Amino acid sequence: MHVVAIVALDGVVPFDLSIPCEVFDRVRLPGGAAGYQVRVCGVTPEVQAGSFQLKTRHGLRELARADTIVLPGITDLSVPIPPRLVSAVRAAAARGARIASICSGAFLLASTGLLDGLRATTHWLAAEELARRHPAIQVDPNVLYVDNGQFLTSAGAAAGLDLCLHLVRRDHGSAVAADAARMAVMPLERDGGQSQFITHVPPSPEGGSLEPVLRWMEDHLHKPLTLPSLARRAAMSERTLSRRFREQTGTTPLQWLLRARVRRAQHLLETTGQSVESVAAKVGFGSATAFREHFQRFVATSPLAYRRAFRGSALKLSAGGRSAPAPRDAPRRTRAAS
């Protein structure tokens, strides 16, 4: 039987730990046989998990016999990762075991070096830190999960369910995965490439030397902003401005500006009934077509589909109890598997 080993260590996120336990343990094959044997493996016999303590039946030795190893998220990213865990995961990978991480469990997997040169994801709040600590990893904060074959990573919270159902589908086919999804009261259709629907958070830390310029850009998104005009505002050369942007935000001025405009558009789509054309103009896109293209690129869905997902009930209320017109453009999905 396929053995799934789920690692538990101090500071483990209980929700992330429970997801693979519940999903894999409930899988039934045609005829009623269990699809997996699930083992929770503690780095230590007793594990602190927030508001409660766990006593595990298995230790890290079980990783040597596992077909799949799942690394759940951890609450404190500043705590050193146990060397014994790193060694055990590396050894398991060397013999061909499949390794998957959920949420900030990507930091555990990244510490082994097994993700170097690969695409990976984690919770969008931690993506910047993962990229900073592990520059050899191509961190994608805009997807639910990434499948590299032997190594898989998922975003936070419910994205762990999507990843586990994806693994069930890989192992046993869509029919068995559909049954597992029904047991979890989850849709099976959510694809890995679907966006995490990132909330509106300034991408630069307070106190950075570019902070005044970034604040000014946020306040003037509706205006035509160019690299020369930004350089004049920052009182530095275009080359220096571009270098500072890369150092402090990890991207270029143009990409930062596009992301900021998309974030503002998300807010307007969620909180107002303005048309797509009006939103496009208010956030500084020259046309609705350009707005749709960039929105699709960063959010992996269309503006109207995004509004439907986050403001459907509000639109009905604003229409005086009548149903709002159905959006004409549905989300276009892209696969995260490589």
Query: Which sequence spans correspond to the domains of the chain?
Result: 2-184, 210-315
Give pLDDT tens digits for 14-29: 999 999 999 999 999 9
Position 87 scores a pLDDT of 98
Residues of the chain with pLDDT under 70: 186-208, 250, 309-338
Sequence letter at residue 218: E
Instruction: Look at domain 2-184 and name its CATH class.
Output: alpha beta
The 10 Å Cβ neighbour count of residue 148 is 17
Per the structure block, which two tokens stand in for 81?
């990762």
Position 196 scores a pLDDT of 56
- Provide CATH code, domain 210-315: 1.10.10.60
Position 325 scores a pLDDT of 37
Position 194 scores a pLDDT of 54
Position 188 scores a pLDDT of 53
Position 331 scores a pLDDT of 33
Per the structure block, which two tokens stand in for 254?
């143009």
